[in-house]
Amino acid sequence: MKRFVFVLALVISVWGCTANRYSYVDVASSHLFMQELKAGFLAAENLPGGPRAYLLSQGTPVYDIFVYGGERTDTIPVPRMPYGFNYTKISTCELLHHLHTIDDRLYTDDGRNGLFLYLQDTAVSDSVFSALCNLAYGGAIVGGERPRTTLSPVDTAAFLRQVDKVWQSGNVVAGMALETVIYASGRIQDMKTRRDSLAFVHRHLPDGEIYHVRNLSAVSGGRTVLKFRVTGRRPMIWNPDNGEMTYPQYKIKALKTKVVTYIAPDDDFFVVFVPFADRYRMSAQ
């Protein structure tokens, strides 16, 4: 019995040291990240654009959709995006030379990354079609308009046979609305809320996430629940007008973090996720 108690005490002691060690690493990482970001945020008060411009220059932008308008014109209106998903337009040059697939996501050389590529034109050249094939076979999701004509001097029948082959692969989706393609991919909204007057921009950092949330309404506001596609990180609210930083009510569940805060009309603020979180904590700290 004494031996059992001794072993049990030893296990508890080792477990406690291990838990404290990992907690210490998390807190230390969070502290360093916060100090650097906070210092830059406060120091930017007298710089052009102020704290807003500083935070919006950190990390890399996150999108879900790369929209390609085609080679013939760049004036095709971008389809309405389902709420909670952001997009970026790419040019033919970017598609051919600066867009890559890494771990089933799309990345540009300037740091933008997204979930899938959405085509708007049905006519493509041979070089653009080859780039689309490489992206699709590399794991990227391609949706939107199906190529029906070629802009290159090649045999049209042979071109269409190649299109059929690529469009039968698992990562290419045709004949679906943009919203259907997004939800069919299993992607959840980057930010979700019941207030349709809110817009957001998402920046990714190695040690955190930054969301700039804006209320486009001049009359509506109040208590608001925001759900972000972030997990395992602790949210803070940063006010770019007065430098105030507060901990909101939050809860981490599955692949989302629920944040409860107050939004005033014409308001804007930053939700900064730092690398430390109490998984089940809901009250403000």
Same domain, yes or no, for 196 and 179? Answer: no
As a residue count, the chain comes to 285
Q: What percent of the chain has pLDDT over 90?
A: 44
Q: Are residues 236 and 269 in the same domain?
A: yes
Sheet holding 256-263, edge to edge: 191-192, 222-228, 256-263, 249-253
For residue 107, give Cα distances in angstroms to 99, 133, 241, 264. 6, 16, 33, 35
Question: What SS3 state is found at 7?
Answer: helix
pLDDT digits (tens, 9 = 90+) for 49-85: 899 999 999 999 999 899 999 998 767 788 788 889 9
CATH number of residue 45's parent domain: 2.60.40
Lowest-confidence segment of 40-44, 72-76, 86-90, 99-103 by average pLDDT: 72-76
Distance CA 61, CA 59 (A): 7
Last residue of a domain, one of 128, 153, 184: 184
44 and 155 fall within a common domain: no
Domain-located, residue 204: yes
Total count of domains within the chain:
2
pLDDT of 31 strictly over 80: no
Pair (51, 81) in one structural domain: no
Q: Tens digits of per-residue pLDDT, 185-211?
A: 777 899 999 988 999 999 999 889 999
Structure tokens at 75: 């004036």
Is 60 in contact with 212 (CB distance < 8 Å)? no
Q: What is the mean pLDDT of the chain?
A: 83
> 165 and 218: one domain?
no
Structural domain including 222 reads 13-58+190-274
Residues 91 and 175 in one domain: yes
Average pLDDT over every residue of 5-26? 41
Question: Which residue from 270, 224, 268 is spatially nearest to 250, judged by alpha carbons?
Answer: 224
Domain shared by 212 and 229, yes or no: yes
The residue from 184, 202, 223 where one domain ends is 184
d(CA 257, CA 233): 8
Return the top range by mean pLDDT from 2-16, 70-84, 150-164, 254-268: 254-268
